[in-house]
Amino acid sequence: MRRELKTGIGMTSARTRERLLKRLRDSGIRDSGVLDAIRQVPRHLFVEEALASRAYEDIALPIGHGQTISQPYVVALMTQALCAGERLRRVLEIGTGCGYQTAVLACIADEVFTVERIASLYRQTRNRLFDLRYRNVQFLHGDGFAGWTDHAPYDGILATAAAETVPEPLLEQIGVGGRVVMPVGQDSTQRLVIVQRTAEGYERREIESVKFVRLMSGTS
């Protein structure tokens, strides 16, 4: 899905975004659709104005509520692992946060369903993405451990918070051939994991070490 987005000035300029894309390519991000999505999405509009000058650095930034906007490399890596070079029809995101990862997913999938447990973030981000004209995203204020059964099965499920194991409801909601991408492990030993569903069961592999906030149950 292509969109005309604000170019920005200064540290949010197109030139600054291209420098970020070069860093991502140098780090091993090769999927042209993912790189195009990173180019399109205006990351400076997903952080506080005081941090906008750092929006296109390859770093995580705070967004309040004890949450962060993920490092662009990690966003690109997870998205690349999720789509594996294919156009996805239906994707579930666990942990909407500020909506940056959501917007990237909206560029590479036909439909995105996203779940956020923190009510204030849910409302704020829903309004932000509506203002930015992302019309292929649906939002739920709910418990990420439960997923969103109403729209299953999904071609891909991406979680932006870490759990000790991949929650069983998420495995059940993935379609055959689809994959779950999420950080798994304890706070100090998290690994980015891909679990693909096959006709015979599930295949799991690890990508690399990561550091995410914990996936919490319930809502607030």
The catalytic site residues sit at 70
CB 41 within 8 A of CB 100: yes
Among residues 87, 95, 9, 91, the alpha carbon closest in space to that of 55 is found at 9
CATH code at 10-209 = 3.40.50.150
CA distance 69 to 98: 7
Tokens 């779940």 found at: 115
Structural domain spans, the chain: 10-209
b or e along 184-208 (b: 16 or more beta carbons within 10 Å of the residue's beta carbon)? bbeeeebebbbbbbeeeeeeeeeee
- Could you say which DSSP state residue 162 is in? B
Helix (H, G, I), strand (E, B) or coil at 105: helix
pLDDT (0 to 100) of residue 187: 78
Q: In whole angstroms, how far apart are CA 14 and each of 40, 55, 99, 153, 186?
A: 10, 12, 21, 37, 38
The tens-digit pLDDT sequence of the chain (220 residues) is 433 344 444 456 778 899 999 999 999 999 999 999 999 999 999 998 889 889 999 999 998 888 889 999 999 999 999 998 888 999 999 999 999 999 999 999 999 999 999 999 999 999 999 999 999 999 999 999 999 999 999 999 999 999 999 999 999 999 999 999 999 998 788 999 999 999 999 999 999 999 998 999 999 8
pLDDT (0 to 100) of residue 182: 97
CA distance 81 to 79: 5
pLDDT (0 to 100) of residue 100: 97
Both tokens of 121, joined, read: 């973030």
pLDDT (0 to 100) of residue 67: 85
pLDDT (0 to 100) of residue 11: 52
Cα 188 to the center of its chain, rounded Å: 21
